[in-house]
Amino acid sequence: MRLDAGLVFLSDSRTNAGVDQVSTARKMQVYEHPGERMMVLMTAGNLSISQSIRELLGSHVGTSGFTIWTAPGMYEAARIVGEVVRLVHARDAKALAEFGIDFNVGMIFGGQVRGEPCRLFQVYSAGNFIESHNQASYFQIGEAKYGKPIIDRVVSPSTPLDEAAKCALISMDSTLRSNVSVGLPLDLLVYENNALAVTQFATIDEDNQYFRMIRRTWGQQLKSIFEGIDAPVWNAASDTTGNVLSSANARSQPMRAPLPSTLEPGTQPAVPLQTLAQQFRDGQQ
């Protein structure tokens, strides 16, 4: 999340959701030069590809002559990340394809270089990227659909960092609840504008007190809110007000398949051919 107050990053660590094989690997990498720059890379997709990218990124010299440690701004640093993605693709994609493996990787890259504001990018498998803006102030990669609604309803650029961190954890809890491919522990990093160093960081497992409270309280509050919403009123009279789902004069009907002519009222169902043959053999006709 890119906010007026800074940045919030959250990643899980599950890399395999097989029934009898679940492995973990951290997906967040920090590139920090205190007082000069603080950058974070989070990855999703094929683990071998993302590990190769992280390994090369720290020392890769881009075509511009910069590394991520010397890039004059976050845009140039993001461009270097894209170069490394294409470098790994050129090296490995063909061999992976021969074994039926797609070149599948997604990244979130963000941070701050001294002298410019915080910036946040989403980098794709082709090495191209997009940047967040006030109308779309967050990115999600990996298994994103379950945790998206809470962020859409709560987070805006003016959201305080602690509130955004809380929202991110609730969003992740919703994903953990619904999808086995996402799992603990989590890495949570909060960065305050112009700190140029990691502001707050926590690794969160099943014993973390705050996350356990989040999981318990969020479930209880959701159930309480749900139970407090009135049931719908069906086929209401025309003068009924409040919570009307359908009215008696609305004449709304479902789309029905036509009834077979043999089943229409007043018609006799056809006698199956097998029954006629049986009757003839038995001398009944």
Q: Structural domains in the chain?
A: 2-224 (3.60.20.10)
Structure tokens belonging to residue 84: 């490394």
Nearest to 191 by CA among 3, 2, 6, 1: 6
pLDDT at 273 over 60: no
Nearest to 170 by CA among 213, 203, 224: 213
E strands, the chain, in order: 2-3, 6-11, 14-18, 21-24, 28-33, 37-45, 105-113, 119-123, 129-131, 186-192, 200-204
Q: Which residue has the higher pLDDT, 242 or 129?
A: 129
Specify the pLDDT at position 214. 96
Average pLDDT over residues 60-75: 98
Query: In terms of DSSP bridges, do strands 119-123 and 105-113 run parallel, antiparallel, or are they unpaired?
Result: antiparallel
Query: In terms of DSSP bridges, do strands 200-204 and 119-123 run parallel, antiparallel, or are they unpaired?
Result: unpaired
Average pLDDT over residues 101-115: 97
Neighbours of 279 (CB within 10 A): 12
* Residue 280: pLDDT band with limits 50, 70, 90: low
Specify the pLDDT at position 234. 92
Average pLDDT over residues 149-157: 96
pLDDT at 272 over 70: no
Q: For 221-271, what is each residue's pLDDT tens digit?
A: 999 999 999 999 999 988 888 899 998 888 788 999 999 988 988 766 555
pLDDT at 88 over 60: yes
Q: For 158-167, what is each residue's pLDDT tens digit?
A: 999 999 999 9
Q: For 5-34, what is each residue's pLDDT tens digit?
A: 999 999 999 987 556 777 899 999 999 999
Q: Which residue has the higher pLDDT, 271 or 120?
A: 120
Q: State the chain's mean pLDDT as an integer.
A: 92
pLDDT at 144 over 70: yes
